[in-house]
Structure 1
């Protein structure tokens, strides 16, 4: 069922210039086929980051985490869809109605335009948030239980998957099935810094737990040889069926 490793590794382009993007993509060459465009890059250069990557034959996860009233999120996603990204996302905490409205509108507009509908996934709880911080914002439910509840809501709403930490991947996979996407940030190769992530795992551990895609940024971007770093991660990923 799973795609090959280079379609499951998503490299985060956390830059604010196209020059930096082109430099890293050139260094990684054919080793990496999937990239994440997040807020930092999108707010700096707009949609051209997505369209350039698509022209280069790369897949794109446009990670803008939409969270607003249902019609606003649905309209925003439909606008973003025309950039050509393969995957878009919203915050699951926007609720069932917001997610279902977004998914329904996205599929309808894609069908009317005659274009492939991007995968739509939902943020559960950000991987930078620890259990202590979760309680600090007034949450009484255990963090892991909240993640699983949000994942089930996303599935009920008709979304293709969620973003969740490696620690919750196994429970989500069991609850939501084999075809449900689980995109996991907070992946750090052994011996690298956790940076600002709290709930982390190695690439192999994340995949063994049930993750379908791994989002990795700094361990590749900051390496002396980014291509060698990416290929080492891919080699580790290939050991997992």
Structure 2
């Protein structure tokens, strides 16, 4: 199994999540836990996944006043997940306080949860950003700006489209983490994602971690689909 491909557990509850993992022999793969599952099950879902040695990206996209985010992150730090995210649009103080919360809430000197900032959602395209949000300018340049902004204020990396990852590495640093959702296998539908890419394209374009969901969870054989993603990512397919 790859340590770089996070499987999105977009299920409504733990029962369905657990059944999917066990039925498809995906124990131990890195996983992304989003709002739907976390808000239903709470911290206990993280504890259950850690018991089965899953690396965890907690995808909550926090965006609130700095003090509230700091206090939330202090609680999240105790869960010892690998990564958790905030919206870069929350501003410099919010990002700084989020980092402060993770550091002050850490219960182990050997583990530090990485703080990841969301740049521009992969469900958005140029037109949506310009005309609906009235954020003017080129989408990829805005993603790069949000990345440098987040890096300057304590973030360890960003969630971004694969199409922006290489440029973000150039303007930030090669060590700055790029987490790329919108990953689809060649024979999968795009669904509600606009800026999608294959694992092989992601590998060539500067992604550090991939997030893959429906291409695996809705596949006829999820285990084989995950293995296909790994092979594409590693260039062995």
Q: What secondary structure, in the 3-state scheme, does the structure 2 residue paired with 1:171 have?
A: helix
> By how many angstroms is 1:115 displaced?
5.9
Is contact 2:86–2:118 with CA below 8 Å preserved after alignment?
A: yes
CA distance in 2, matches of 1:105, 1:19: 31
Residue 179 of structure 1 is matched in structure 2 by 175
Please say if residues 77 and 101 of structure 2, whose CA atoms lie closer than 8 Å, have aligned partners that are also in contact. Answer: no
Asked whether 1:225 is paired with 2:224, we answer no
Aligned match of 1:116: 111
Q: Does 1:41 align with 2:28?
A: no
Q: Which residue of 1 aligns with 2:122?
A: 127
- Cα offset for 1:45? 1.3
RMSD, aligned CA: 1.6
Structure 2 matches for 1:123-202, cutoff 5 A? Answer: 123-136=118-131, 137-202=133-198
Q: 2:76 aligns with which of 71, 77, 80?
A: 80
- CA deviation profile, 1:34-67 (whole Å, cap 9, x unmatched): 0000011111111121110001111111100000
- Is contact 2:120-2:160 (8 Å) kept? yes
Whether the 8 Å CA contact 1:31–1:231 is kept in 2: the answer is no
User: What's the secondary structure of 2:3's corresponding residue?
Assistant: helix
Specify every segment of 5 or more residues in structure 1 that has no aligned partner in the other structure, as ranges: none
- Structure 2: stretches of 5+ with no match in the other structure: none
- The answer to whether the 8 A contact 1:54-1:84 is kept is no
Is 1:216–2:212 an aligned residue pair?
Answer: yes
Secondary structure class of the residue paired with 1:29: coil
Match of 1:57 in 2: 53
Q: Secondary structure at the match of 2:211?
A: strand
Q: Distance in 2 between matches of 1:78 and 1:105?
A: 4
Distance 1:31 1:22, change over 3 A: closer
Deviation at 1:71, TM superposition (A): 1.1
Deviation at 1:113, TM superposition (A): 5.6
- Distance apart, 1:83 and its partner CA: 2.1
Taking structure 1 as the reference length, the TM-score comes to 0.93
Instruction: Show CA shifts across 1:75-112 (max 9, x none).
Output: 111112222311111000111121112113322332x6
Q: Note if contact 1:92-1:122 (Cα within 8 Å) is conserved in structure 2.
A: yes
Shift of 1:173: 1.1
Cα deviation code 1:105-132 (max 9, x no counterpart): 322332x664622111000010000111
Quote the Cα distance in structure 2 between the aligned partners of 1:43 and 1:220.
Answer: 23
